[in-house]
A and B are shown apart, each in its own frame.
Chain A
Amino acid sequence: KAGVTQTPRYLIKTRGQQVTLSCSPISGHRSVSWYQQTPGQGLQFLFEYFSETQRNKGNFPGRFSGRQFSNSRSEMNVSTLELGDSALYLCASSLQDPGKTQYFGPGTRLLVL
C-alpha cells in the first residue's frame, strides 16, 4: 500500500497570508490527525478527523482549521499567518479504532516570513 502523502512538501508564505495543506491517508484509513512540530514546542496535536467529522481538537487558535472529505483526504488551513506558525506540519492516518497505530506522512515544512 502507498503511505501517507502530504502536499506541498515545502511552502514559503508571508505574514497575514493564508495556507492550505493537504493529506492523503493510507488506503482504507478513515482517521486523519494533524500535528505541528517546532523546535521550541515539540510535537503538538492540532486535530483529528474521522468520517468527515472532527473527533478531537488540540489547543490551537481558531486560525487553524481543517476538514475531511468523503474519500478520507484531509486539508488543514491556517489563516492570517504569523511568524510563529513556521513549523513542520505532520499528518497521520490510522484505522477507526483509536488504539490503532498512526502512520505519518513526510510532512509539510512551512516557513512564514
Chain B
Amino acid sequence: AQTVTQSQPEMSVQEAETVTLSCTYDTSESDYYLFWYKQPPSRQMILVIRQEAYKQQNATENRFSVNFQKAAKSFSLKISDSQLGDAAMYFCAYRSPTGANSKLTFGKGITLSVRP
C-alpha cells in the first residue's frame, strides 16, 4: 500500500519570504499522480498543484512550485513571496492511476502560519 509522510507538523514563514514544505511517499508503482492541497480555516480543500510522475519537469502554478525527485520519492512544495492568505493546512496526496488504489492517499498535513 502507498503511504505519504509529512514529517513537519508546523512551519512558519515571514510574509514575502519563501518556504518549502516537505513530503515523501512510498510506492512500488512507476506511474502515479501527486498533489498538494490547501485547507484554510473554512475547511474547503483547494488544489494547489499537481504533478504527473512520468513528467520530468517540475510543476509550477504562479507562486507555487514543486521539487519532484522520483528516485528519492520526494515531492516538496515551494511557496514564493508568501502572503497572509497562504496560511492554512497543506496536504500532500498520492493517487494511483488504476484499479483498487485509485483513491487519494493523504499525508497528515502541515500547518503553515505566515507572520506579517
Contact = CB atoms under 8 A, between A and B. Distances in A.
Contacts, number: 54
Given A104-B45, A106-B42, A48 B102 contact: yes
Given A98-B97, A101-B35, A48 B108 contact: no
What interface size band does chain A fall in? Answer: 20 to 34
B109 A35 contact: no
B106 A56 contact: no
A106 B44 contact: yes
Interface in B45-97: 45-47, 50, 52, 91, 95-97
Contacts of B52: 99
A64 interface: no
Interface of A: 33, 35, 37, 42-43, 45, 48, 55-56, 58, 88, 90, 92, 97-99, 101-107, 109
